[in-house]
Amino acid sequence: MEKAISAYLRNLIGEEGLDVIERLSNDEFTDQDIVNETGAQLSTVRRTLFTLFEHGIAWYDEKRDKQSGWIIYHWHIDFDYIQHRLDADAQKLIAKLERLLYDELNNVYYTCDNNCARFVFERASEYEFMCPICNTALNYQDNAAVVAALEEKIHELKADVPAIFYPENIQVLELALAEQE
Ligand SMILES: [Zn+2]
């Protein structure tokens, strides 16, 4: 399995779920097939499939078992769709980081010695350059390091989509996704 896809799945369904999916040799199977093939718990298999279903990555056909008359769910997983989702999420993350970078480049920031918060110039001047939290002076903050870190992160993502799953990126991504809703 491609590194980016397994990273995406690991984030979604955990190591246990990924282990189940990685050992599937078919593109159509029932939950019981998976249990037989992987030795995983039925509850783990069902949870994994349900999570994938919720994210549009897995779907199922209903077929009636000729002998028992029961409905059997035949599952499929769409790995192409995962790649599509991954690329789309990476684009959202890059867009979010570019907006943050734009803000950093177009604002002047102030902070107190206790680092309570960062204030843009307009806000700092409203507070008469005193921190509203700890009441000490607000000083100009050189944001060159923040700018450099954002530029590096954007560069990293453009070069390597799986970087989206670095823990520090996940948080920003969740923010970017939440903003769209
Ligand atoms: Zn403060």
Q: Read off the pLDDT of residues 60-81 as tens digits, 9 standing for 90 and up.
A: 999 898 888 999 899 988 888 8
Which residue segment(s) compose the domain that 114 sits in?
Answer: 88-180
In the block, tokens 């520090």 appear at 168
Query: Is residue 169 domain-shared with residue 148, that is, in the same domain?
Result: yes
Residue 181: which pLDDT band, with cuts at 50, 70 and 90?
Answer: low
pLDDT at position 77, please?
A: 86
179 alpha carbon to ligand 1 midpoint, in Å? Answer: 28
What distance in angstroms lies between residue 142's CA and the mean position of ligand 1's atoms?
17
Q: Which of 31, 58, 77 is the last residue of a domain?
A: 77
Same domain, residue pair 65 and 94 = no
Is 69 a member of any domain? yes
Rg (CA), the chain: 24
Q: How remote is the CA of residue 158 from the centroid of ligand 1, in Å? A: 36
pTM: 0.65
Shared-domain flag, residues 116 and 56: no
Tell whether 66 and 105 lie within a shared domain.
no
> Is 12 among the domain residues?
yes
71 and 105 together in one domain: no
Give, as residue ranges, everything with CB less than 5 Å from ion ligand 1: 112, 114, 116, 131, 133-134
Rounded to a whole number of angstroms, the distance between the first and last alpha carbons of the chain is 31
Residue 157, pLDDT > 60, answer yes
Q: Looking at the structure, do residues 171 and 123 belong to the same domain, yes or no? A: yes
Residues 118, 176: one domain? yes
> Ligand 1: distance of its center to the CA of 123 in Å?
14
Co-location of 68 and 102 in the same domain: no
Which pLDDT score is estimated for 160? Answer: 79
| Single residue among 53, 77, 101 that ends a domain in this structure | 77
Q: Which long-range contacts (CB under 8 A, 24 or more apart) does 154-161 make?
A: 154/94, 154/97, 154/98, 154/101, 157/90, 157/93, 157/94, 157/97, 158/94, 161/4, 161/86, 161/87, 161/90
Domain shared by 159 and 121, yes or no: yes
**What is the total count of domains within the chain?**
2
Query: Residue 137 falls within a domain, yes or no?
Result: yes
pLDDT of residue 25: 66
The first and second tokens of residue 121, run together, are: 């110039």
